[in-house]
Amino acid sequence: MYFNIFFCVLQVFSIVVFGCIVNEGYINLSTEEEEHCIFNRNRSACTYGVTVGVLAFLTCILYLAVDIHFPQISSVKDRKKTVISDIAVSGLWSFFWFVGFCFLANQWQVSKQEHNPMNEGADAARAAIAFSFFSIFTWAGQAVLAYQRYSLGSDSALFSQDYMDPSQDQGPPYPPYASNEDLDPSAGYQQPPMDAYEAGSQGYQSQDY
């Protein structure tokens, strides 16, 4: 459940970042026809913000579907790979958002006033920078939760032993029928000892007249 909430929050953050840049991240002066990136007219800054936001949004959708389908994964190896990939991807996206935050904040700080005298799109630029900052810690928290899931699985029977679906077990449900030849010969009928037979035959004695 916590994974679903985190991915939903990350989706919102991603939408805010690339939405702000796409809608209000490109401006132009009244004397210009070409639009320029609001972040110091550095097109790479806008491109990076949009690209990271869109890819992060798609990643959230993918792992949200994987997280919902996770309880139905019967293979222990597949569960391990899924959780490990969640840790790696979350840590990687935390790094990407850190780079994006630093990049956008730096370019916004060095932007020149004459390039945007009306201060158009300033709120959108600040929102993109702020939610880039929030995404760093949210993705890092997602990585921590994924690591806790991996540690919990390593300590439990979920990851420590192979799982076998009972429907896939092709072994015989009952032990095979044992023939007489398979039985232990010593366990069969044994003739009573001769001493007991002789003792029984001596029970009646004839008398002399």
Place of tokens 């077990």: 169
The distance in angstroms from the start CA to the end CA of the chain is 106
Position 159 scores a pLDDT of 55
pLDDT of residue 129: 96
Query: Domain-by-domain residue ranges, the chain?
Result: 2-166
- Compute the half-sphere exposure of residue 24: CA atoms within 13 Å on the CB side of its CA: 14
Q: Are 48 and 17 in contact (CB under 8 A)?
A: no
Q: What pLDDT, on the 0 to 100 scale, is given for residue 171?
A: 47
CA distance 46 to 39: 7
Q: What is the pLDDT of residue 189?
A: 46
Q: How far apart are CA 137 and CA 152, in angstroms?
A: 22
How high is the mean pLDDT in each 10-residue block of the chain (209 residues)? 72 94 87 86 94 95 86 82 90 96 94 84 93 94 87 59 43 48 49 50 47
Asked whether the beta carbons of 138 and 9 are under 8 A apart, the reply is: yes
